[in-house]
Structure 1
Amino acid sequence: MNRRRFLKRSALAFSGLAVTGLPGLAHAQATPITIGQSVDLSGPTQSLGRDYFSGAKLCFDVSNAAGGIGGRPLRLLQLDDGGQAARAVANVARLLNQERVDHLFGLTGDACIAAALNSPAFARSDKLLFAPMSGADYAAERVVYLRASYGEEIAAILATLSGAGLKAFTIAHAGTAAGIAARDAAFALLKKRGLGAPDAIALPADPRQMGVAASGILNRRPQAVVILADTIPTALLARELRSRNPGLFVCATSCVDPTALRQIIGAQTATGIVLSRVVPDPLRSAAPSAREFSQAFNRYFDEAPSCANFEGYLAAKLLVNALRKAGPNPDSPRLLAALHSQKTSEPAGWKIDFGSGRRASHFVDTIVIRRNGDTLG
């Protein structure tokens, strides 16, 4: 089965009303623990959201087949926001007020996440948002991050470029509040590590001005440009930069969907672009959890897994483990306490520790897009 067919089997992914499981998986009949998610399944970066959902849904289905949480099945209620902030706000309101979900899980897209966390529905609730796909640090409480920060991603990219002998960098960041905050967090981390802050430029809100922005960046004569933005502005800027300087090192963070990036700018232009990743490559990692995921994924899918698949699976697994530790009534305070007790350490320096702060993982790796669309770590 491929991921698209799997998603079609999950009616909630499109209707928001029900979820079907993988073929042959039995579900318990007790009162379910309901997990709510708003995610981009139909917008321009849908492959990232779909892959994250597929990995999480796989984990929940496998857990249900093993008896659920104390005999209670996990029910994933998912609504498509198409990558639009207003729809994400409406979805979160529906999940909290109408569907009465027990917990929120894995929202995607910085604009959608920021809008949802600032929404009246979330402010009025006592629910926890677990593992949003963002490296930004939002002021909202009741948010637990699994992945590294954007500052850590940028620091890792610059370390990789410096190791290749490059010295002149420009960071091109979204001009939004989230983009500026991510830039400042990156600069603070670089300063803490004894590294100087690179040149920086805010991207225009109007995509028609991206060519002007590219010319302005190239006039600064950087050896590499690190783009801190979502997939669409990253793709548009990368295309303009490489049309003017094909040999320029172009890098981006894990919030960029590599499939959509390649579709927008073409295989030739995308080749050689460096992307950071916040989980190990499931096809190459020696980590036990990566092997476990690959075995489960290969049992039900006939295609290679992505890093987003693995991130969704890992987030769901950590949530399942915490729900088991939280006892028979896993409300948000009990879930948070159970999460804070989770610590693991695996090969390649990959560690999970929810007790050390808001972010449980500080792992960052870099990959390079190859001409055939594959990536090289």
Structure 2
Amino acid sequence: MSLSRRSPTPAPYPVLRGQLPAHAGRRRLLAATGMALALPALAALAQAPRTVVVGHLLDRNGAQSDLARDYLAGAKVMFDAVNAGGGPVRILHVVRDADPDPRRALAQAVSLADTEHAGLLFGPGDRLLPALASSAELARRGMQIVAPLSGLALAADNVWFTRADYQAELDAAAQQLRGYGLTRLALAVAPDFAVSSLARLEAQAGTRAVLLEGTGAAAARRIAATRPGAVIVAGDTLAYAELGRELAAQGWYGFLVGLSSVSANAAREILGRGYAGGLLLTQVAPGPQQATLRVVKEHVARMKQYLDEPPSPATLAGYIGAAWLARALQSARTGSPAELRRALQGRFDVGDFTLDFTRGQRGSQYVTLAVSGAK
């Protein structure tokens, strides 16, 4: 019996060396075409900016209302410029008018965290900051309070200051005035203004502090009798301007020195056009007069571009705080509270002006005296 040899099964398609079957080629072509079409979409998805919500409670009614509005304006133009630049982070700046009651304002901050998903609260002032900084509710939610307008010295793990505190301002004012050759100084302190090291300040000024009560008339009589070359006022706009007016009534027109808590425009309105004394205010950030600094030039240009308003020390301070925050957010890999904290703990040059948070939560001790003027 003979066995027949079975012929090999012919290939369904002729295959040449180095050539795929036609159906396989079509599959490869379709896959390649699909990948080519998908790549732009994937690239766009990969490059889509991450949105970070920054809450902002604006105090329109307190003693710092004028400063708070300027501070907001400076921050807003910075955030607008960041969003227009198309970087890796888009900042959603959610602004709410703060309730006059700090407890209800705290509830607003909690709502920003819960309903708007804000992980950051920008720029609170003196009236609101203590309640916000001591809130267990905000701390539990991981809310970071950044660039407060306030100069209060508060120890809170989630508060990041871009400015010196009021005590540093008072110390610097006394030292700089003595450096100018003014040896006869007077010190006036408002009863609600916290001065942690009053004894040291009195030693620097070489005088005992005078408490401001009522309209300041009694304090003005005591101060004018000593004929000082300058009077340093630890207080808000009203305390500063009312004392200046009472000193003028006593015939004293020396240098009236206030802190960054004073609004130059409001103070001049209270003092009146006829006031002939010299008005000096401390600044905790470079002012518009320092036009050679990059951050000042950028800010002036962006105020004109986005708001068409003149800059002020307060708009510049808000701009610098927002510039620091924007740079920190761009270095964050995610929006988690832990990652936000890590991103804030750096050293940032915002344009010939540096904020350094590598050693703590106060990034600047810059203080200088400048002649006060309305915008």
Return the TM-score normalized by structure 2.
0.78
Query: Which segments of 5 or more consecutive residues in structure 2 lack a partner in the other structure?
Result: 1-46
Matched, 1:202 2:211: yes
Query: Contact (CA 8 Å) 1:46, 1:82: kept in 2 or not?
Result: no
Query: Contact (CA 8 Å) 1:153, 1:276: kept in 2 or not?
Result: yes
Aligned to 1:131: 147
Aligned to 1:15: none
CA shift for structure 1 position 82:
7.0
Matched, 1:234 2:251: no
Q: How many corresponding residue pairs?
A: 329
CA shift for structure 1 position 190:
9.0
1:212 aligned to which of 211, 215, 218: 218
CA shift for structure 1 position 302:
3.2
Deviates more, 1:128-137 or 1:117-126: 117-126
Matched, 1:74 2:91: yes
Matches of 1:190 and 1:287 in 2, distance apart? 35
Aligned to 1:141: 157
Matched, 1:294 2:300: yes
CA shift for structure 1 position 133:
1.2
- Alignment RMSD (CA, Å): 2.9
Closer, same or farther: CA 161–30 of 1 in aligned 2, 3 Å:
closer
Matched, 1:89 2:106: yes
Aligned to 2:285: 279
Q: Which amino acid aligns with 2:369?
A: T
3-state DSSP of counterpart to 1:180: coil
CA shift for structure 1 position 222:
3.5
CA shift for structure 1 position 106:
0.9
Deviates more, 1:309-318 or 1:59-68: 59-68
Matched, 1:35 2:54: yes
CA shift for structure 1 position 42:
4.6
Matched, 1:60 2:79: yes
Matches of 1:82 and 1:366 in 2, distance apart? 33
Aligned to 1:331: 336
Q: Which amino acid aligns with 2:370?
A: I
Aligned to 1:179: 194
Aligned to 2:134: 118
Query: Contact (CA 8 Å) 1:43, 1:82: kept in 2 or not?
Result: no
Task: Select the structure of larger CA radius of gyration.
Answer: 2
Matches of 1:198 and 1:88 in 2, distance apart? 40
Aligned to 1:160: 176
Q: Which amino acid aligns with 1:135?
A: G
CA shift for structure 1 position 335:
2.2
Alignment of 1:250-261 (within 5 A): 250-261=256-267
Query: Which segments of 5 or more consecutive residues in structure 1 lack a partner in the other structure?
Result: 1-27
Deviations, residues 169-193 of structure 1 (Å, cap 9, x unaligned): 23222323x5133xx1x755898xx
Q: Which amino acid aligns with 2:110?
A: A
Deviates more, 1:97-106 or 1:248-257: 97-106
Query: Contact (CA 8 Å) 1:351, 1:363: kept in 2 or not?
Result: no
Aligned to 2:359: 356
Identical amino acids, percent of aligned pairs: 31
CA shift for structure 1 position 119:
3.9
Q: Which amino acid aligns with 1:276?
A: T
Q: Which amino acid aligns with 1:325?
A: S
Q: Which amino acid aligns with 1:91?
A: Q
Aligned to 1:310: 316
